[in-house]
Each structure stands twice: as C-alpha cells, then as structure tokens.
Amino acid sequence: MKEFTIAVLPGDGIGPEIVKQAVKVLDAVSEKFNVKLNYKYGLIGGAAIDETGVPFPDETKEIILSSDAVLLGAVGGPKWDNLPFEIRPERALLGMRKLLNAFANLRPAKLYDELIDASTLKPEVVKGVDIMVVRELTSGIYFGIPKGIFVDGDERVGINTLRYYEHEVERIARVAFEVARKRKKKVTSVDKANVLEATVLWREVVEKVHKEYEDVELNHMYVDNAAMQIIRWPKQFDVIVTTNMFGDILSDACAMLTGSLGMLPSASIGGKIGLYEPIHGSAPDIAGQNIANPIATINSAAMMFTYSFNMPEVEEAIDRAVRNVLAKGYRTKDIYSEGCKLVSTEEMGDLIAEEIKSM
C-alpha cells in the first residue's frame, strides 16, 4: 500500500475550517484508493505567533521537512497587522516557500460550467476559460536585495530590488513549457521588457529555453497589456509564465474570471516537498461562521496527488466529485445563485467526501 505523510498547517481565519474539510476528503480518498495518509499538524502564521512568538516556528519547519507534502490553509488577520514587518504572519509563507525551494507556483484558473453566472464577466467571454498561471515564487522583487527602509540624508527611502538570475528564469520557463505540453501547448511569457532590464534578461532566457520545446507555441506580452487581455478575451491564454510580483497580481485577476476566489487551488513545486494551498487569504471577516467555501483547499489537496504523489487519477476523482456536487445544485454562500441549495462549509466538505466514497 502507498503511504504518504502530509504536514497540515491550518493557520488563521477560515484556515482551520476549510482545512478540516480537505482532510475529510483526503480520508475518503485514502479509503477509496487504498493509500495510507498520515497527518502531522503544525502551527503557522498568527496562530503560531500567539503560541510561540514567531510566525514560522522551528517545530513547524521540522514537521514540514519530515513530510512528503504540505497542506496549508491561510495566514494573517487584523490581530497581527500592527506587528513589526519581520514577524508578520505573511513572513511565514515567504519563509516556507524559500525553505522548500518551491520556486514554481501553479495557479490554475478554470471555470466550472455550473458557475458561469458567478463571474462578473459575460458568459461568452468566460465560458471554457482554462488558464494555468506559472508564477516564479522564490525570487524577483519579493526577495531581491538590497531591500528595506533606509535613511538617506534628511529623509527615508524604501527599497526593493527586482533581480533574476539566468538559472532562476531557466528553471521556471522549463516548468511552464512542460506544463504546456500536457495542455494546449501554448505559453505566454509576461514581462515588462520595454522598461525593466531584469525582464529583458527574463525574455532572452525564456526564448533560449523555448528552443528545447519547439512543439510549444511561445509569445511575449507586457504586463499591462496582459492585464487588459485577461479581462478582454481570456480564452487566448493557455499557460502564462511570469515573475513573482506580476504573477501575484495576474493570478488574482485570472481567479476572478471563474467567479470566486473561493474555488481556486495552487501548487508550489520545484523542491523535494510540494506546498499546496488555496490562492485566497484567511478571510477574517467570515472566519468561524461555517460559511467559507472549502473547495479551493480541497482542490489544492487534489493537486498534491498529481504533483507530489504521482497519482493524477486522484486529482481527477476529486475534480469529478466537486463537479457532481455543484451539478446537484449545492453552493456555499460565495457562489450561491437563485434556485441553488445553500450549504455550509461543513456540509460542502461532507458532500464532496461522500461523493468520492460513492464513486
């Protein structure tokens, strides 16, 4: 029997409620697919600050490094917003990505036909949208040095540095082309090569790697234009590969094409241990009310089976289960429309887990 250990980090806000539903689904998968799953729970973000004083305690690092994959809920909230920058909950996320060398962040934005009316865009614009954003995650302006707030003469200056080494661009480009090969074989590399030298290099390296993938079509787009094109005609995109910060921004835009941030998962891969988390945040305004949508977290757990456990059939099964439950008309509040059956976080988790067991 296959056996895997998953580090489970619920985090803050709605994190614990949604992670609980994903674990229900994992338990159903374990039964159905005859795979043994061990869970190791750890503290992260605000929850860790409250207990230990730091957002990413050593004990959590040990849990992660002794697991096969990490499932994360969300971190952050108003309670910790006034803490010094270096110990804010968000630092834990960045620290973890770096620790795991999870340089490739895959953020699929796929519209479920059942939710076509949940999008704010016209149905004919979003119908069939299926984009994979491949965001560079461990370098660029998020990590480049010098960084900080410094004193210069009689005023202060804030500095961040956009910085990319060739090998960093090369490896993310390779991931994008590999992913595209299993999809519609089209990569759009997004940069700002008309202004930023770091992305002139980015473009050159992407072109060079492309020579090994001539079966995949490549085009380049400036980020401002890309933002516009995503809203104007999203179906022109298959795989988008871009820098850390551009990817952060464009992936939120892509998410909204599909109706709700509450639906979209992510996988951060490249290192030995993959990290799986919903792309939404901790939503403190609705935490503890049993109304959050757990599907993004459930779909993140699904991606774990494809990218860390080499069991893509499980991701397909979870995807089918989610679709079936939506097709039967069940909706959490964020994706509710008239005539549907409104369910809680817990109920949505139960429904999807049951669907898998009965498949």
Helix %, strand %, coil % of the chain (to 5):
50, 20, 30
- E-assigned strand segments in 54-169: 69-74, 104-110, 130-136, 148-152, 155-159
The stretch among 15-23, 183-191, 247-255, 309-317 that binds Mg ion (CB under 5 A) is 247-255
Residue 192 catalytic? yes
Identify which of residues 26 and 250 has a Cβ nearer to ligand IPM in the complex.
250
- Catalytic one of 224, 328, 341, 357: 224
Put residue 212 in one of left, alpha, beta given phi > 0 → left and psi -120 to 50 → alpha.
Answer: alpha
Q: Which of residues 245-284 bind ligand IPM (CB under 6 A)?
A: 248
Q: Which residue is nearest to ligand IPM (CB)?
A: 90
Residue 248 catalytic? yes
Beta bridge partners, 40, equal 7
- E-assigned strand segments in 243-304: 265-269, 274-278
d(CA 348, CA 24): 11
Q: Calculate Rg over the CA atoms of the chain.
A: 20
Residue 142 catalytic? yes
Count of CB atoms situated within 10 Å of the CB of 17: 24
Q: How far is the CB of 237 from ligand IPM (least distance, A)?
A: 18
Q: How far is the CB of 137 from ligand IPM (least distance, A)?
A: 7
| The entry of Mg ion, ligand IPM, none that residue 90 binds, CB within 5 to 8 Å by partner kind | ligand IPM
Report which secondary-structure segment, H or E, holds 302.
helix 295-307
| The entry of Mg ion, ligand IPM, none that residue 93 binds, CB within 5 to 8 Å by partner kind | ligand IPM
Residue 12 catalytic? no
The answer to whether the beta carbons of residues 352 and 322 sit under 8 Å apart is: yes
Number of residues located near ligand IPM, criterion CB under 6 A:
3
Residue 319 catalytic? no
d(CA 333, CA 316): 25
Figure out which of the listed residues 136, 168, 248, 355 binds Mg ion, where binding follows CB under 5 A: 248
Q: What does the per-residue mask of binding to ligand IPM show for 30-69, with x meaning CB under 6 A?
A: ----------------------------------------
- Catalytic one of 213, 248, 276, 330: 248
The stretch among 63-71, 242-250, 258-266, 328-336 that binds Mg ion (CB under 5 A) is 242-250
Burial (0-12, 13-18, 19+ Cβ within 10 Å), 16: middle
Q: How far is the CB of 123 from ligand IPM (least distance, A)?
A: 27
Residues making contact with Mg ion (CB under 5 A): 248
Residues making contact with ligand IPM (CB under 6 A): 90, 93, 248
Query: Residues with catalytic annotation?
Result: 142, 192, 224, 248, 252
